[in-house]
Structure 1
Amino acid sequence: MKRLTTLLATATLTGLLSTTAMAASLNGTQWQSVDDKTKEKKAVIKMTESNGVVTGTIIKLNDASQAKEVCSKCEGSLKNKPIVGLPILTKLKADGSNSWSGGDLVDPESGKVYGGTVKLSEDGKTLKLTGNVKGMPFLKRSQTWTRVK
């Protein structure tokens, strides 16, 4: 019985490790965000990964005149925080090969928070974000970002 338990534990751990290994790392990458409606370049977002959780933070706005703006429409802890330095992707966890979900995507212009997914293209050059209004998965919004670094 002890041998069976050890075998099952090893198989489970191997399965968990292989799922984690299959996901590419976004840690340290930088992405140019593009408005899904106007196609205008908006900001550069730096991704960090810690303990399997991905966060994306605005590090630069393309329109330098907006560099000192705050997120006046955001709620909670993000209310009136500077846009540069704002974490707009939070709590994303790998859910397979080159894909992360389960977190929040914040639109700093509207202050709205979306649930959603992030998918890295096979060539690693683009990142597709698909957000949906929480509680209404049929109301979706997507953006494709290009890799800067």
Structure 2
Amino acid sequence: MAFRSTAAALLLTATLTVPAAAADSHSPVGTWRMLHPQTGAAHMIIEIADKNGELEGRIAELADGPADAVCWNCVGERKNQPLAGMVILWDVTPVSGGWNAVILRPATGMINGARIELENGGKALKIISGRGPLRVAQTWDRIE
């Protein structure tokens, strides 16, 4: 009898977790691999999380370069602060077909408005930031 109860509990747990995993394909919440714009190699790992009802993205780890790298191009309170753990995406608000946000580009220290859209069934996150000739488009890959 204990075997049936355990089996039933496992089946119920598996059934209840599938919709939660499927919901990720409609949300930017998760872990993302940012590729280096020039080389295409993994550059940073970004975690986007829901913090008290607001989405924010922070650098979880640096995939290349020194682990203790700092944001020497940043200004204000971010100047010379460690990149690992730094919030680089905030003020994320839903709009038709995606989200608007504010993004920090650590390589330049620039803070810009950004448009975020999920692509490829939620496996990629397209981010367009900046204006005019300084406009930058990136695609981050979801880490499963």
Q: Give the TM-score normalised by the residue count of structure 2.
A: 0.74
Ranges in structure 1 where 5+ consecutive residues have no aligned partner:
1-22
**Per-residue CA distance 1:6-54 (angstroms, 9 max, x = gap):** xxxxxxxxxxxxxxxxx93333x00000122332210100001235532
| Aligned alpha-carbon RMSD (Å) | 1.9
Identity %: 29
Deviation at 1:96, TM superposition (A): 2.7
CA distance in 2, matches of 1:121, 1:52: 23
Deviation at 1:81, TM superposition (A): 1.4
Q: Give the TM-score normalised by the residue count of structure 1.
A: 0.72
CA distance in 1, matches of 2:118, 2:107: 24
Partner of 1:59: 60
* More helix by percentage: 2
**Per-residue CA distance 1:103-137 (angstroms, 9 max, x = gap):** 211111211112111111151100000001xxxx3
Ranges in structure 2 where 5+ consecutive residues have no aligned partner:
1-24
CA contact (8 A) 2:125 2:142 kept: yes
Partner of 1:78: 78
**Amino acid paired to 2:86:** L
Partner of 1:33: 34
Partner of 1:138: 132
Query: How many correspondences in the alignment?
Result: 119
Task: Describe the SS at the equivalent of 1:92.
Answer: strand
Partner of 1:24: 26
Task: Describe the SS at the equivalent of 2:125.
Answer: strand
